A and B are shown apart, each in its own frame.
Chain A
Amino acid sequence: MISYVLRRILYAIPILIGVNVLIFSLFFVVNSPDDMARTILGNKNVTQAAIENWKQENGYHLPLFLNTEAAGIAQLTNTIFFAKSVRLFIFDFGNSDRTGISIGDQIKLRMLPSLAIAVPAFILGLLVNITFSLIVAFYRATYLDYWALILCVITMSISALFYIIGGQYLFAICLRLVPISGYESGVGMFKFILLPVIIGVVSGIGVGVRFYRIIFLEVIGNDYIRTARAKGLSEVRVLFKHVLKNAMIPILTGVVMTIPFLFYGSLLMEAFFAIPGLGGYTLEAINAQDFSVVRAMVYLGAVLNVAGLVLTDISYTLVDPRVRLG
């Protein structure tokens, strides 16, 4: 078990190196430090001296990969690649080019509000989707099934933007049940995260129910389910005990598929509800054209994603012992 976990973690390292090189080439080779300086200083009336000065201040004056002027190991370490990209491996994100504030500190500060929305929305969404899809699977091949599926297609055809705008209008402006936007740490947080979490769950129902329904129908077609029915178990017991348990592996795969979409959600939700999380931080950086912050967020997003994949693979082995051999 431990060797499997170790192997799985080691397998993630080349991926992260690849991500790092990709980000580096996107931000420094495709878009040279000179271009970056010009964007940050304002495109008009920038002298070459000002560009050099800015690069010197922010550490972009070094060569990209190989510093021929330095000696020994410094040939490799005294470069932009080492200073800006290799440091990412130890989560040293450096300072923002715009404000000079440490990105790492900002991330620590903004992690909690982001998690406060993403985690409840994720867990609640999973529970709701699985419950609904079990119900739909229970009434398979009936009118309820048919119309539930049509309803799912309709809900997934509506842009998330409309769920947010509509929800805000209905619950915050018309009914005044919750504040429109904002955030507060501690217990007061509840009333601020309620609406984003509900909207996150509702907007994901269509895709989720359709996905899990297919999984459940596949499991229901198996012989052992017929056996369970034949020995006189009630349909509810069959569904919750036998079907649900055996559907765990595909469900886990489904969970992995939703992880990347959490970033979409957080970006939108935090923008609409003025929540000071990581998504909001990324949006601010986009509007301010703060390359260093966007670079850090892309890398962090990839790390979280890869970590999610590794965790899922490990949880496969917990759910199904047969996987452990592989």
Chain B
Amino acid sequence: MLSIVIQNSIVFLLLAAVFSLCAWFVRQPYWPTAKRSLMRNKLACLSFAVLCLYASAGVFDSIVWRDSLTDARGNPVFNAHGEPLYQATPLSLLDRMCTPIRTASEKTYSAPLAAVQLTLESIQLDNGTIVRTAPPLNYPRRHLLGTDKVGQDVLYNTLKGIRTALIIGVFTSLIAIPFALLFGIVSGYFGGLIDDIIQYIYTTLMSIPGILLMVAFMLLFGRGLTQLCVIMGITTWTGLCRLIRAESIKLRELEYISAAEALGVPRLVICGRHILPNVMHIVIISAVLNFSGLVLSEAILSYIGIGVGPETGSWGNMINNARLELARAPLVWWNLAGAFVGMVGLVLPANLFGDALRDALDPRMKG
């Protein structure tokens, strides 16, 4: 029960954090120009709308609660102490919205919108003769993307992958950004020995190929969403740190920093008040641009068996389960198609929006 409360509160905290970040962002002096530039870009607006759809699916899938157990007449069941009993597995809001396709399970594969099963079975007819035919489905014409090997709806599986992908993309950035900001600004602004030490740390981390570090980490700590976010955070903060350090070095030389120093503002306050706001656009740009890479990496890691656990719905796991399906006859393509559409639908808008955001916030980097 407690874990459900914690999970829901984390979701709301995260939403609150995102909204307050957006509110802060909108108050920045460069926002009106950036907004105009973004609004002019039709593709970026469309991408943003799609991203919002994905985000709401992810949020709906994160708000969970358990139903109470009911007896045959629909009355709630109580235990000996008079406390209500609940079902073992909690269901999310998205699960409840998808009830018609979630509960409509078949025996095995069926093609998209088919009325009969894909594989043949021997069925005894009423008159006693046994024929080899494809039996009718329990729920004909209901599965928009067909069903998988164990008869689950593919569209539902695809929707369940959204939350995992979003968590990977968002939480990893949330882990990486504070480190990158702290070390990057301190390293760039203070220079000297601190700079040398921080540079040494991130050069060392960067020199281990990310995929191999992830492999080692996942092997030692086991598969799981948390471990994946932590290790991806460790491998991604270095790049951002280097960018922020370079920008901080540039800012350090500007007049207003010298003025603040001359007025006797403590150096840590200068970092927080004068440098931090001026590197935030880099953080936002690279967080959005990194997002798609993280989603793609998750699929690859889950595919090679070191990503999220097999019980977590993810597109990498879907592809992994479907890897031999193109070689079978009749061909089963809808599992791969589901994962493909789910991923491209998220990564393409993220890339397009990220590019537009970069052009709007940092015209120097415009490609």
Question: Interface of A with B (CB < 8 Å)?
Answer: 14-15, 18-19, 22-23, 26-27, 30-31, 149, 153-154, 156-162, 165, 168-169, 173, 210, 213-214, 217, 260, 263-264, 267-268, 271, 282-283, 286-287, 289, 291, 294-295, 297-298, 301-302, 305-306, 309
Contacts and interface: CB of A to CB of B under 8 A. Distances in A.
Interface in B228-249: none
Contacts of B292: 157
A298 B216 contact: yes
B26 to A, nearest CB: 26
Given A26-B216, A282-B215, A157 B208 contact: no
Contacts of B304: 267-268, 271, 283, 286
Interface residues of B, number: 40
A160 B343 CA distance: 12
A282 B212 contact: yes
A306 B208 CA distance: 8
Contacts of A26: 216-217, 220
A169 B300 contact: no
Contacts of B98: none
B340 interface: yes
B31 interface: no
B170 to A, nearest CB: 18
A107 to B, nearest CB: 14
Contacts of B204: 15, 18-19, 22
A160 B300 contact: yes
Contacts of B219: 286, 289, 291, 294
B208 A264 contact: no
Contact of A302 (B208, B303, B305, B367): B208
B209 A302 contact: yes
Nearest to B350: A157
A165 B299 CA distance: 14
Contact of B367 (A14, A210, A297, A305): A210
Interface in B314-353: 316, 319, 323, 326-327, 336, 340, 343-344, 347-348, 351-352
Given A14-B200, A287-B305, A301 B296 contact: no
A19 B343 CA distance: 34
A22 B296 CA distance: 27
11 contacts: A19-B204, A149-B367, A157-B348, A159-B319, A161-B316, A214-B367, A263-B211, A264-B209, A282-B215, A297-B212, A298-B208
Contact of A286 (B201, B306, B367): B306
Interface string B198-215: 001101110111111101
B61 interface: no
A165 B327 contact: no
Given A160-B300, A169-B326, A287-B305, 16 more contacts: A19-B207, A26-B220, A153-B348, A157-B292, A157-B344, A157-B348, A159-B300, A161-B303, A161-B316, A165-B336, A263-B209, A271-B304, A283-B304, A286-B215, A294-B215, A305-B208
Contacts of A267: 211, 304
Contact of B343 (A159, A214, A268, A306): A159
Contact of B351 (A157, A160, A214): A157
A264 B216 contact: no
B207 A161 contact: no
Contacts of B207: 15, 19, 302, 305-306, 309
A157 B204 CA distance: 30
A211 B15 CA distance: 34
Interface in B174-213: 200-201, 203-205, 207-213
A91 to B, nearest CB: 17
A301 B209 contact: yes
A11 to B, nearest CB: 10
Contacts of A14: 200
A18 B208 CA distance: 10
B45 to A, nearest CB: 15
B301 to A, nearest CB: 10
A156 B351 contact: yes
A321 to B, nearest CB: 25
B233 to A, nearest CB: 15
Contacts of A268: 300, 303-304
Nearest to A22: B204
A117 to B, nearest CB: 16
B355 interface: yes
- The listed residue with most B CB atoms (<10 A of its CB), out of A156, A282, A291, A301, is A301
A264 B340 CA distance: 20
B367 A161 contact: no
Given A157-B351, A165-B326, A31 B220 contact: yes
Given A22-B208, A264-B211, A286-B305, A294 B367 contact: no
